[in-house]
Amino acid sequence: MSFFVLMAQAIAVQAVPTTIYPQGPKTFNEQFSTWNAGPDATDQVTPLHRWRTIDKSGSASMFNHATLVSDAAFSLQPGPYLAITATKGADGQWRSGYASTKFSFKQLRGYFEFDANLPVCTKGAWPGLWMLPTEASFLWPRYGEIDLAETVGDGRIYQTIHSIVLGTPGSFASSAPCTRGWHTYGVLWRKSTISFYVDRKLTNTVATPADFTSPMYLIMDLAMGGAWAGTPTVTRESMLVRRVSAWGEQ
């Protein structure tokens, strides 16, 4: 085997960094000095907002959750950071916030990161920092889903990929302190591997499923209740986000 073939193979098999230092210019960077958001029904809205505040189908509710989407859930706070606040109304209905970059930013592979403060030990609170493909499909999870961080009040951070090729989700859960605090949640998406990070330290690596071929957009939301999270024990809760960033292929 020639030297050049050996070198090509060595380059093809990239080592997964145990500590991530994103390289190159950022392809997306949101630090919430302003909140450019709105309920854009299509990508033809003028002016088009950076953040779309309805879910992927334009529904008033968050996918299968009973939580209703409300633009009133978002507020900029000194720091600066964005607060997404879920509130239980007098009618017993939860209202909270969902925001995505579906019409403003998408990317195939690279490093993606949220800097957030999540309610990891609030029973029934279900915050999510995640990504979905722009390729249309009614057969979820064709083209994949990446969950950088989810919690359901059990003191654990769940990082997951969903794939129709896998058939079952590939998930990793790590314990988290039950005190509120800022942490970064990242994913390094490469052609061969998908690696998760908390505070830029490697938590898990899985092989990239074959159907991960569509660019993905960024999502942040706070649902309340549901089969996984259970019945909330509070009537108000917030998740905080102070930065969302992306870099090209690493």
User: Which of 35, 94, 41, 48 minimizes the C-alpha distance to 69?
Assistant: 94
3 state DSSP class of 71: helix
Distance CA 194, CA 209 (A): 9
Distance CA 154, CA 120 (A): 7
Asked if 117 and 181 count as a contact pair (C-beta separation under 8 A), the reply is yes
Helix (H) or strand (E) holding 11, with range, is: helix 3-12
30, 113, 135, 150: the active-site residue: 150
DSSP labels, 22-44: --S-EEEEE--SS--EE--SSTT
249 is catalytic: no
30, 113, 135, 145: the active-site residue: 145
Distance CA 178, CA 158 (A): 15
User: Which of 8, 20, 9 minimizes the C-alpha distance to 188?
Assistant: 20
3 state DSSP class of 219: strand
145 is catalytic: yes
CA angle 135, 113, 122 (to 5 degrees): 100
Query: Catalytic residue numbers?
Result: 145, 150
